[in-house]
Chain A
Amino acid sequence: MRTSRMLALGASLLALIGACGMGGGATPTAQVNIRIGSAGFYESALMAEIYAQVLEARGYTVTRNLQIGPRDTTLPAIERGDFDLMPEYIGSLLEFVNQSAGEATADSAQTHDRLQARLDGRGLTVLGYTPAQDKNTLVVRGDTAAELSLSRASDLAAVQAELVWGLPAECETNPLCGGVLRDVYGIDYDQIRLIELDACGAEIATALNGGAVDIGQLCSTQPDIARFGFVVLEDDRNTQPAENIAPIVRDDFLAQVGGADALAAILDPVSQAMTTDELTALNVRVGIEQEEFATVARDWLTEKGILPEGP
């Protein structure tokens, strides 16, 4: 064969191999820009970074806008078009958009469907969710659990007067917190010794560990639980709504890439690989050890085989 034809054959073979090399899902032929946002706390930023790296590997150009703020900032921002995608918690988001109508349940699939129904009128789509959930949980120190034989929330009614409770200021009027404690778990909210501290924060974890409060409200993937050896009290009456994580995306962005299925094909497998234990372990790295989101995200993605190893 003459050199020029060999070269031409070689070039076309390379192009063919290159085109087949990518995995399933839409590879944008033209350059597609996606802007990804997240809520203020590190867990949300980490999930956003994970989604960002996967999309980059699939040929998207990603602009990150992480750690923006609380939901009442981020949701209007995505609806305005400030960015295209962000990770969200299906139960809390549902109750936020339906103004606490009480539609979220402990059933993840049901909550997810109801969320999509609510998002339909707002130009947003929610994609597949993680097995991991990050719910508000009641925790006690290990010694308290042993001493008072506490393992479930229902065990608390009998010993409520012996504990100093650390609950957020909004718990009093929140049906999922104060309401549940009063009506389901038999806690006399007005009589318990109460210190008001925000849930999931460093303050409540410090206060609980130091012995100044005996029971506190933390987030289930919060690294302080393992770090201080706290015991999580099981929500045995299933009062808390499902809080799986899923990306929400603007519909007009989805139109650019050929619909929700195209993006779901890329991101759903990633979400499905994230369990509660995995997320908690990652939170130790970003929350306690203060490692970079990009490093931790990359390590997890390569470990799961979603991204190839190497530079």
Chain B
Amino acid sequence: MSELIGWLLDPANWSGRDAIPVRLAEHVLLSGGALAIGLALALPLALYIGHTGRGAFVAINLANLGRAVPSYALLVILFGVFATSARDPLVFTNGPTLLAMVALAVPPIVTNAYTGLRDVDRDVVEAARGVGMGGWQVLRRVELPLAMPVIMAGLRIATVQVIATAALGAIIGGGGLGRYIIQGIARFDNPRLVAGALMIALLAIGADLLLGWLQRRLAVGSRAGEPGEPHGLPISLPTESRRA
């Protein structure tokens, strides 16, 4: 423990190529970038199939491929592709990691967004249509707000998984906090190894707490504190609808 504190306080670990701020920033960029791309791909798809109810089977199973393929295998395959086509060393060591993390982020976002939308009380949707709202309006003003807790839960799952798994990128020479783990193993440097793992865990927990706060802020109206509000469950029970 004291060795760990010693490592974290050592100024040598705060400067140069392997500086803590550098590796931390890399990890945040990799994870954040993967989640942003994942959201951009997953959310429109999920909103479409959730709102219309069409194409769900194909979409969900396609999305789950990202979960089924082992990230490490994907990483090694992509590395072979990148190493022969990408000349820039930062691209070829981090590109595969980014793509593998996108594949990991997509399934929980798609699954939860779809489920969240499908679980919205049909009576509310019908009522909305009944007062003259078009499809887009129903989605934006009724379905999305009601599905938001479940959608956010999916994003939280994706975030934690991506932050944790981004450490794998270090195996192919990529950056991020995983570098400390690889170096710790190779150099028999236990404090380095533990510090790396610890920082990844803290980052994941911190991100999860942040998103949890955001989730509560985005909850519809003043429903905060009402019994039955879902917290971080992948699938929520159907929520009580509020008659307009």
Binding site for B on A (CB under 8 A): 164, 166, 168-170, 172-174, 190, 193-197, 203, 206-207, 209-213
- Complex CA distance for A173 and B186, rounded to whole angstroms: 9
Residues of chain A contacted by B172 (CB below 8 angstroms):
197, 203
Closest residue of chain B to A196, judged by CB? Answer: B173
* Chain B nearest Cβ from A311, distance in angstroms: 41
Between-chain CB contacts (< 8 Å), 26 pairs: A164-B89, A169-B182, A169-B183, A169-B186, A170-B187, A193-B89, A195-B89, A196-B173, A196-B179, A197-B172, A197-B173, A203-B79, A203-B83, A206-B80, A206-B83, A210-B85, A210-B86, A211-B87, A212-B83, A212-B86, A212-B87, A212-B88, A212-B89, A212-B92, A212-B93, A213-B89
When the two chains form their complex, are residues B89 and A209 in contact, meaning their CB atoms are under 8 A apart?
A: no
* Chain A nearest Cβ from B3, distance in angstroms: 16
Which parts of B221-239 form the interface with A (CB within 8 Å)? none
Residues of chain A contacted by B182 (CB below 8 angstroms):
169, 196
Whether B17 is near chain A, meaning CB under 8 Å from some CB there, is yes
- Complex CA distance for A213 and B182, rounded to whole angstroms: 19
When the two chains form their complex, are residues A203 and B173 in contact, meaning their CB atoms are under 8 A apart?
A: yes
When the two chains form their complex, are residues A172 and B187 in contact, meaning their CB atoms are under 8 A apart?
A: yes
Which parts of B146-196 form the interface with A (CB within 8 Å)? 170, 172-173, 179, 182-183, 185-187, 189
Residues of chain B contacted by A209 (CB below 8 angstroms):
83-84
* Chain A nearest Cβ from B10, distance in angstroms: 14
Given contacts A206-B79, A210-B86, could you give 4 more A-B pairs where the C-beta distance is less than 8 Å? Answer: A169-B183, A194-B17, A196-B170, A213-B89
Whether B16 is near chain A, meaning CB under 8 Å from some CB there, is yes
Which parts of B187-215 form the interface with A (CB within 8 Å)? 187, 189
Interface string of B85-122 (1 = CB under 8 A from A): 11111001100000000000000000000000000000
- Complex CA distance for A2 and B16, rounded to whole angstroms: 96
* Chain A nearest Cβ from B133, distance in angstroms: 54
- Complex CA distance for A177 and B185, rounded to whole angstroms: 17
* Chain A nearest Cβ from B78, distance in angstroms: 12
| Contact size range, B | 20 to 34
- Complex CA distance for A212 and B81, rounded to whole angstroms: 12
- Complex CA distance for A190 and B83, rounded to whole angstroms: 24
Residues of chain B contacted by A210 (CB below 8 angstroms):
83-86, 92
- Complex CA distance for A41 and B170, rounded to whole angstroms: 22
When the two chains form their complex, are residues B16 and A190 in contact, meaning their CB atoms are under 8 A apart?
A: yes
Which parts of B58-93 form the interface with A (CB within 8 Å)? 79-80, 82-89, 92-93
Closest residue of chain B to A170, judged by CB? Answer: B186
* Chain A nearest Cβ from B14, distance in angstroms: 14
Residues of chain B contacted by A193 (CB below 8 angstroms):
89
* Chain B nearest Cβ from A211, distance in angstroms: 5
When the two chains form their complex, are residues B80 and A190 in contact, meaning their CB atoms are under 8 A apart?
A: no
- Complex CA distance for A166 and B88, rounded to whole angstroms: 13
* Chain A nearest Cβ from B178, distance in angstroms: 11
Which of the residues B82, B87, B173, B185 comes within 8 Å of A195, measured between beta carbons? B173
Closest residue of chain A to B91, judged by CB? Answer: A212
Residues of chain A contacted by B185 (CB below 8 angstroms):
169
- Complex CA distance for A134 and B84, rounded to whole angstroms: 27
Residues of chain A contacted by B79 (CB below 8 angstroms):
203, 206
7 nearest A-B pairs in the assembled complex, by CB-CB distance: A170-B186, A169-B186, A210-B84, A210-B83, A212-B92, A195-B173, A197-B173
* Chain B nearest Cβ from A174, distance in angstroms: 8
Residues of chain A contacted by B84 (CB below 8 angstroms):
206, 209-211
Residues of chain B contacted by A211 (CB below 8 angstroms):
84, 87
Instruction: Check A195/B16 contact, CB under 8 A, given A206-B84, A209-B84, A212-B86.
Output: no
- Complex CA distance for A173 and B192, rounded to whole angstroms: 13
When the two chains form their complex, are residues A172 and B89 in contact, meaning their CB atoms are under 8 A apart?
A: no
* Chain B nearest Cβ from A119, distance in angstroms: 23
Which of the residues B16, B89, B92, B187 comes within 8 Å of A173, measured between beta carbons? B187
Residues of chain B contacted by A207 (CB below 8 angstroms):
83, 92, 173
Closest residue of chain B to A164, judged by CB? Answer: B89
Closest residue of chain B to A204, judged by CB? Answer: B173
* Chain A nearest Cβ from B88, distance in angstroms: 7
